[in-house]
A = this chain, B = another copy of it.
Amino acid sequence: MSTGSMPSAKRWPVAILGATGAVGQTFIRLLADHPWFEIVELAASERSAGKRYDDAARWLEGTMPPAVAGMTVLPVDPSRVTAPIIFSALDSAVAGDVEQRFAMAGRFVLSNAKNFRMDADVPLVIPEVNAGHLGLIERQRSGRGWKGAIVTNANCAATVAAVALAPLHERFGIETLFITTMQAVSGAGYPGVASLDILGNVIPYIADEEPKLEREMLKLLGRYENGEVHNAGMRVSSQTNRVAVEHGHTVCLTASFSERPTVRQALDALRTWKGDEATWSLPSRPEYPLLVTDAADRPQPRRDVNAGNGMTVTVGRVREDTVLHLRMVALGHNTVRGAAGGSVLNAELLAATGRLAPA
């Protein structure tokens, strides 16, 4: 993580909503030593509010950063949480109402929930892929009369697929896309998937995942123009599966394009892609948002999930298809790139593009 190019020595104060859950904990890990942001408040549901954080949270990985251990967990209420930047790991059951109240109260809400993702005036952003979609913020504010704003990141599997496909879509125009996923258990939160359900098993179903994946791809790869995102014109079909993997969604992709690329052309597009220039100096931006592996049997979740500190999507097995044009396999870290890390990168993009008031 570079220290980036921000002029100010001060850090923006930030709060995390849903701080005790799995994604909330990943937020804490990623923000504990962040050069631009400083965690000043943690908030969670009624059950946890009022407790010390280390009493309220069952810490899932390694050691809890000491700075948060003694913080008192606040309720998810804009009158109690004061930070101007809000990272939300709230469940969709409550995110809709809560995130909206924070936005009305003038905060920038970086949301992981599905509630607002498909709203026409809400940016659904992967910075390297579609930084320009942030332009929707103005429309959102004026239309809704909000001083703050909601910026969303996408479904974790959609994020992996979109990063892997962005370079190909830019050059060759995807027309048809088949996606089959093998998703890690951490995508279901904690306690999430019961061990009796997944040990030595595959569950060929994730509630509501396929429609989310299919519609979000269109917006993620859509084109921003005149205050509007025009969805990509492709057709998408998906099947989503849960596998006995801790972190890392593996995504099998088969696609046809308006201009058929050779495998060599596709590899060249993937290898030379740098992502939107606006992201190049962001601290959480990995050197390579997209890595192509030559190994015949990679990417693999356990071996590749932490590439670029979990922010790099790894692509392999790029080959001709027997029916459409190309097939390939992509892998990314679902709770980092596909959730908390994505939100942090979105916030960095807001900062770098001058959208945040000085810290």
Contact = CB atoms under 8 A, between A and B. Distances in A.
Contact of A204 (B237, B306, B316): B316
Contact of A323 (B237, B246, B298): B237
A85 B178 CA distance: 44
B297 A204 contact: yes
B239 A203 contact: no
Interface in A225-245: 235-239, 241, 243-245
A45 interface: no
B235 A322 contact: yes
Interface residues of A, number: 61
B199 A246 contact: yes
A194 to B, nearest CB: 4
A143 interface: no
Given A202-B301, A300-B204, A303-B62, A323 B195 contact: no
Tell me which of A202, A235, A324, A329 has the highest count of chain B C-beta atoms within 10 A of its own C-beta: A202
B322 A241 contact: no
A76 interface: no
B323 A239 contact: no
Interface string A288-312: 0000000011111111101100000
Contact of A199 (B61, B199, B204, B327): B199
Contacts of A22: 196
A195 B244 CA distance: 8
Contacts of A298: 204
Contacts of A198: 195, 199
Given A182-B243, A190-B196, A205-B296, 13 more contacts: A22-B196, A177-B323, A186-B196, A190-B194, A192-B196, A199-B199, A200-B245, A202-B300, A202-B301, A203-B297, A204-B300, A205-B297, A205-B317
Interface of A: 22, 60-63, 176-178, 180, 182, 185-186, 190-205, 214, 235-239, 241, 243-246, 250, 252, 254, 296-304, 306-307, 316-317, 321-324, 327, 329
